[in-house]
Amino acid sequence: MIRLLFLGDIVGEPGRAAAKLVVAELLKEEAVDFVVVNGENSAQGRGISPKISIDLLRSGVAVITTGDHVWDQKEIIPYLPTEPRLLRPLNYPAGVPGHGSIVLDTAQGKVAVMNVQCRTFMAQPLDNPFPTALAEAERLRVETPVIFVDVHGETTSEKTAIARHLDGKVSAVVGTHTHVQTADEQILPGGTAFLCDAGMCGPVDSILGREAGAVVKKFHDCMPCRFPIAHGPVQVCGALIEIDPATGRAASITRFKRLVEQR
């Protein structure tokens, strides 16, 4: 079995530090073979920088996925084409810098990772993820049946629908973007593991990793304000998935959450 660890949206420096610590622990404790993290909020809560990407990849992370904030740090635009392990959503129009999927060799065989973004209530109206993801899954299966998909989206219905659409074509579909871990982990009829949202790697005493007071104020008076990254203990959330390398079918999916005291 291939043991794959996926960690949800990393929020700022606290999330990065905690995620790297937990990855190092789980590589030993759980004999994890392959690590994927969503890093689209890892740079001060908005976007990701080349330096942060390099740091995460050196820490034991195999692939970094992103989402609608992928372009928030301008220096990432020329960097994306140079680092295929840092993905942007697959369903951007042709010609956009970067890659939406990758296949990597491991001791257990080849593993593919795909990043796709939903459209409902998302600011950027990207290409339809349903035919795009299905076509990419079929292309990747020529190389390997082990395919992990990060589906970045706002609504539970769209993420669940994409998982059902890809059931039997990919090994796992796990959602990101809402920063709130859901409790619906399951193996779909075709053998695809699914979790609607992995949750976040960010401060517990917060609203989605940001200082609660600032977010409450924004909802209260509707005035523009900054949302600083919160402080205190950090929750590292995600999923552990076991996949049969021969068939690509998932054998199990377990929600993961660990509390890390901020140093």
- The CATH number given to whatever domain includes residue 82 is 3.60.21.10
Report the alpha-carbon distance of residue 118 to residue 29 in Å, rounded.
34
Provide the pLDDT for residue 263. Answer: 57
Q: Where are the alpha helices (DSSP H) in 89-155?
A: 129-140
Q: Does residue 137 contact residue 171 with C-beta atoms inside 8 Å?
A: no
Report the alpha-carbon distance of residue 76 to residue 85 in Å, rounded.
13
Give residue 119's domain range.
2-260
Task: List the catalytic residue out of 69, 152, 177, 179.
Answer: 69
> pLDDT by residue for the chain (263 residues), tens digit each?
999 999 999 999 999 999 999 999 999 899 999 999 999 999 987 899 999 999 999 999 999 999 999 999 999 999 999 999 999 999 999 999 999 999 999 999 999 999 999 999 998 789 999 999 999 999 999 999 999 999 999 999 999 999 999 999 999 999 999 999 999 999 999 999 999 999 999 999 999 989 989 999 999 999 988 889 999 999 999 999 999 999 999 999 999 999 998 65
Query: In total, how many domains does the chain have?
Result: 1
Provide the pLDDT for residue 185. Answer: 98
Those residues with Cβ within 8 angstroms of residue 158's Cβ, 6 or more apart along the chain or in another chain: 118, 119, 120
What residues pair up with 170 in beta bridges, in sequence order?
167
Residue (of 146, 153, 204, 186) closest to 170 by Cα position: 146
231 among known catalytic residues: no
